Structure 1
Amino acid sequence: MNNTGITIVTVSIVSFLSGVYISQWFKCSPAASKGRVRYTSPKFASSEEETEDETEDEEDIDINSLALNEVPGEVRMTLIVRQDLKMGKGKAAAQCSHATLSLYKKITNPNSQAYNPEMVSRWEYGNGQAKITLQVPNQEEMDMLFAKAMSLGINSSIIHDAGRTQIAAGSATVLGLGPAPKRVLDEVTGALKLY
């Protein structure tokens, strides 16, 4: 084996062992035991928005979306950002990430009423986990969209900010919908503009 091969094997082993050690550390940490792991490294971040790793409260009602499996066509996730809060792009991106993860965790959890592995499979493998980001003018309209989505059996989650940076604590920032068939999502979001 030449020096390049030895180097690759050494780096691989060190990476693997580091990953095992870090995962064990997170399992034992107080933050992990509460279901929240926060890692912030201001040394490498370029702005406050990038160091923010807040876990927001989520407004969740688990919806059984199994009936939507009968609707053919493209499956996507929709993220709806409130415009009246005037969040910076980094803040909005972080909030959308929280919404995406919240939706995914619900629909893949076998203990949740929202569990729907067929819909997840269609979303993951059918069209590359499509996510569309839209805008809504205010919380009142966001709440109406949330109610309509629930009435149609769409997996939904509203993200509430923790209030550590730009937004007041408890503010509803993003409404996440799906994964669900595009045709059904359009009944809720068809009139909204892209973010």
Structure 2
Amino acid sequence: MAAPVPLDRLPPTTTAYVIATAILAGVTGYFIGQGSSLHLFKEKQGWPNGYDVKVHRDSSDEEFEEESEAEDSEDEGNGEELADFKENAEEVKLVLVVRTDLGMTKGKIAAQASHATLACYKYFITHAPDSPILRQWERMGQAKIALQIKGEDELLTLQAQAMSLGLCARVIQDAGRTQIASGSRTVLGILGPKSVVDGVTGHLKLL
């Protein structure tokens, strides 16, 4: 009797492919993990998680070092000028008034405006941590707007006007290690009820 003719081999099923892929991935992961633990792979330096991030051309390491030394120029304030605005029911906002006559780059402006934002916040936290103005600003999204001004004298005039109305008004001075002269007043931050702040800065143009 003749031997039976073998049937054609059946193709692998989807389940077989999934199992084979899982086994391959597991083995590969194991060896990669062993290699990493033995420091066989060179890690990229400078940024967390090894990402190779390119710094914007308007920025530099020197500038970032310098930015950390910018200071609030009115540290002698004691918070007595701050009004509580207890009956305020309108939006609270932070206006950042930026000097355009200094020729600051966009990165520089962003850093100085950040300093002004923190200066206003820290001033409230230090002198009036329970201020309803601060709490309302925090709850409603921390509204911010950037405006422009052309000189230091007008900047200081606006600060004095804002403080006389009970607003938080902080000026930032630059350390002067890169683009501009040491002690230059770069940005004024004003935090308070929208209508009161607009009474001081409403005539200024958007940055």
Q: TM-score, normalised by structure 1?
A: 0.70
Could you say what secondary structure the match of 2:95 adopts? strand
2:79 is matched by which residue type in structure 1?
Answer: I
**1:8-42, Cα deviation, whole Å (9 max, x unpaired):** xxxxxxxxxxxxxxxxxxxxxxxxxxxxxxxx97x
Instruction: Indicate if the aligned counterparts of 1:63 and 1:154 stay in contact, CA closer than 8 A.
Output: no
RMSD: 2.2
CA distance in 1, matches of 2:154, 2:72: 18
Q: CA deviation at 1:116?
A: 4.2
Q: Cα deviations across residues 82-139 of structure 1 (Å, max 9, x unaligned)? A: 0111111110000000000111111122xx2x4443212110112x110010011100
Query: 3-state DSSP class of the match of 2:73?
Result: strand
Which deviations, in whole Å up to 9, do the C-alpha atoms of 1:64-87 show, x marking residues without a partner? 424323232000101000011111
Structure 1 position 138 matched with structure 2 position 151: yes
Q: Paired residue for 2:168, among 150, 155, 161?
A: 155
Which residue is equivalent to 2:10? none
Q: Whole-Å Cα distance in 2 between the matches of residues 46 and 89 of structure 1?
A: 10
Q: Percent identity?
A: 43
Aligned position for 2:121: 104
Query: Residue 85 of structure 2 contacts residue 132 of structure 2 at CA under 8 Å; is this kept in 1?
Result: no
Q: Structure 1 residue 50: deviation in Å?
A: 5.3
1:55 matched to 2:66? The reply is: no
User: Structure 1 residues 62, 136: CA separation in 2 closer, same or farther (over 3 Å shift)?
Assistant: farther
Match of 1:171 in 2: 184
Larger Rg: 2
Q: Report the AA paired with residue 112 of structure 2.
A: Q
> What amino acid maps onto 1:147 in structure 2?
A
Gaps of 5+ in 2: 1-45
> CA 1:62 to 1:70, structure 2 compared with 1: closer, same or farther past 3 Å?
farther
Note the C-alpha offset of 1:55: 2.1
User: In the alignment, residue 165 of structure 1 is paired with which amino acid?
Assistant: T
Residue 49 of structure 1 and its aligned partner are, at CA, apart by 2.7
What is the CA-CA distance between 1:162 and the residue it aligns to? Answer: 0.6
The answer on 1:117 being equivalent to 2:131 is: yes
CA distance in 1, matches of 2:202, 2:60: 31
2:56 to 28, 43, 46: 46
* SS of equivalent residue, structure 1 residue 173: strand
Change in CA separation of 1:82 and 1:62 when aligned onto 2, cut-off 3 Å: farther
SS state at 1:170 partner: coil
